[in-house]
Amino acid sequence: MALRVTFHGGAGAVTGSNFLVEGPKGRIVVDVGLEQGRDFSVASMYSPFPFDVPAVDAVVITHAHLDHIGRAPKLMREGFKGKVYMTPPTKDLMELMLRDSVGLLTQEAKRRGLDPLYDENDVNKLMQHVETLDYHVEKEIAPGLSVYLRDTGHILGAASVRIVNLDDKTSLAITGDIGNSPNPYLNDWEAVPDADAVIMEAVYGDRAHDHLDTRIPTLRDTMKRAIERGGTILMPAFSMERTQLMLYELSNLMEAGELPKIQVFLDSPLAISVTEIYEKWAGTYFNPSAKEETKREKSIFRFPFLTMTPSREDSETIGREPEPKLIIAGAGMSHGGRIGRWEAKYLPDPRTTLLIVGYQAPGSPGRMLKDGSPKVKLDGREVKVAAKVESLTSWSAHADRDGLLKFAEATLPRAKAIFVSIGEPSAQRFLAQRIHDFLGGKAIVPSQGEVWEITKAGAKKI
C-alpha cells in the first residue's frame, strides 16, 4: 500500500487541524485540533474521532495552538496507547495551554449540561505519552514511517513534519501554520524541498500584511496618540506570541526614545507563563540575533517599566497606578479573562484607548468593539464605549498570501501535489489558484473526509 492521507480536519476549517497518514504497516495522526475563533459546533468536539484511535501508532503535534492540540487529551479517553511527538518548547506550551483550557471547557460544558470534553486527569495521561523530538532529527515513530521536523517560524517550537514511507521512500509533508517571517526572535520558516506532496495552511491565503517597515512606525504613532490622550491604554492580546511580540517591540521603541516611557502592566497569568517558557528556550530556539540579545540582556521581553501581575492582588493595584499606562491582558478577543474587568472600568472614559492587535472573530466582544459599537456586553454587563478604539493589522503570526506563495514555490519541483488546507475556503481557493497560475504547481483544495494516495508521480483521490 502506498502512503495515504485522510483529511479529518483542517479541510474547510471545520474541526481544527487533524490528519491521518497511513503507510503499509503504520499509522500516524498529525495534529488533534479544536476549532477556534468562531461559534464551533459542540457535536464536532464531542463526536468520536473518525478513525480507530487504538490502532494509531503515534501522533505528531505541529505546534501548541488549540486549533492543533485542543482535542489531544480526548485521545486518551478513546484508548490511544502510542507516543505523542513534538518539539521540546511545544511540549511546555501545550501542557500550559491544555491545563489552562480545562477550566474554561468545564464551565462551558456545565452551561450546556454536558460532561467536559476532557479534564485534568486526561491532560496528565496525555503528558505521560509525550516524547520530544527536535528539529532535523529523522526518526521512525510508526512501523515503516519516519518523521522529520523543521521550524516554521510561527510560534516558539512550531514545526512542519515530513513523513516518509520507508518501503518506497515516498513522502508527504504537513506544514502546520507557517510564520510571518521575519520575526525579531523566531527563526524564519524553513523550506520543505523534499516531499512528494505537501499539505499547507492558507489562513491568509488571500490577504497581504503590511511590510515590517510600516508596521513598527504605525505601532509607534498609534501608541503616541494614545499616550497623548492621557488615559489608560488597553491592549487585549493573545497570550502566546502576540503578547511577547508586543513586549519586544514596545520595549525597543521606549528604550530607543521613540515612545515616552510609560508604565506597562502584563496582567495575564497565562501570558506571563508563556513568556517564561519563551525565556526558558531563548538560548536554544531563538534566531541568532535574538540569542545574542538574550545573552546580553537575559530577557528580551522585560524592561524596567514593565510590571507582571500574576496574582489577583497584584492585578488589583493596577487600577490605582497613575495614567497614562498600558495594560496588556487576555483574552485576545475580549471574551473573558482579566481584560474584561479593565474594559468595564475604562471604556466609558473618553481618554482611554483600546488598542486591538489581533484577529477578532465575528460575534466576539472584540469584534463589536473593533466595528465601533457604542456599547458592549462584558460578563453580562452592558458597558458604554466612549474610548477611542484603534486597530493595528499585520501583526499576525501567519504568513500572508505572498509568504505562502514563496513557501509553496520552495516545495517545487519535488512536490507533485500541494494540498491547500486550513483556512477559510475562499482563502484556500485563492492560494490554490495562485500556485497554479504563478508557479505551475498542482494545487488541490481537499474536502473534509477525503482520502488521497501519495506516489512519486503525485496524488490520487481514492
DSSP per-residue string spanning 395-450? --SS--HHHHHHHHHHTTTT-SEEEE-SS-HHHHHHHHHHHHHHH---EE-PPTT-
Q: What cell numbers appear for 433 in the block? A: 489558484
> To the nearest whole angstrom, how small is the minimum distance from the Cβ of residue 337 to Zn ion?
19
Closest contact distance (angstroms) between CB of 232 and Zn ion is 30
Comparing CB distances to Zn ion, the nearer of 22 and 177 is: 177
DSSP bridge pairs for 76: none
| Least distance CB 30 / Zn ion (angstroms) | 14
The radius of gyration of the chain's CA atoms, rounded to the nearest angstrom, is 22
Q: What are the residue ranges of helices labelled H in 266-420?
A: 269-285, 288-297, 312-317, 339-346, 365-370, 401-410
E-assigned strand segments in 175-215: 197-200
For Zn ion, give the closer residue by CB, 177 or 267: 177
Q: What CA dihedral angle connects 270, 128, 158 and 218, to 10 degrees? A: 0
Residue 199: count other Cβ atoms within 10 Å of its Cβ: 30
**Smallest separation (angstroms) from Zn ion to the CB of 67:** 7
Strand partners, 418: 198, 443
Contact residues for Zn ion, defined by CB under 5 A: 65, 177
Rounded least distance, CB 372 to Zn ion, Å: 28
- State the minimum distance, in angstroms, from the CB of residue 66 to Zn ion: 9
User: Could you tell me which residues come within 8 angstroms of residue 415 by beta carbon, excluding any fewer than 6 positions away?
Assistant: 173, 192, 195, 196, 197, 198, 441
For residue 340, give the nearest of 365, 309, 308 by alpha carbon: 365
DSSP string computed for 112-158: TT---S--HHHHHHHHHHEEE--TT--EEEETTEEEEEEE-SSSTT-
C-beta closer to Zn ion: residue 157 or 446: 157
Nearer to Zn ion, 423 or 441 (CB): 423
Say if residues 351 and 230 touch (Cβ distance below 8 Å). Answer: yes
> CB of 240: closest distance to Zn ion in angstroms?
9
Nearer to Zn ion, 35 or 177 (CB): 177
Cα–Cα distance between 333 and 368 in angstroms, integer?
A: 10
Q: For Zn ion, give the closer residue by CB, 171 or 273.
A: 273
Nearest approach in angstroms of CB 431 to Zn ion is: 17
Residue 208 to residue 451: CA distance in whole angstroms: 31
Place of cell 497560475: 437
For residue 176, the minimal CB distance to Zn ion (Å) is 7
Q: Is 164:170 a contact under the CB 8 Å cutoff? A: yes
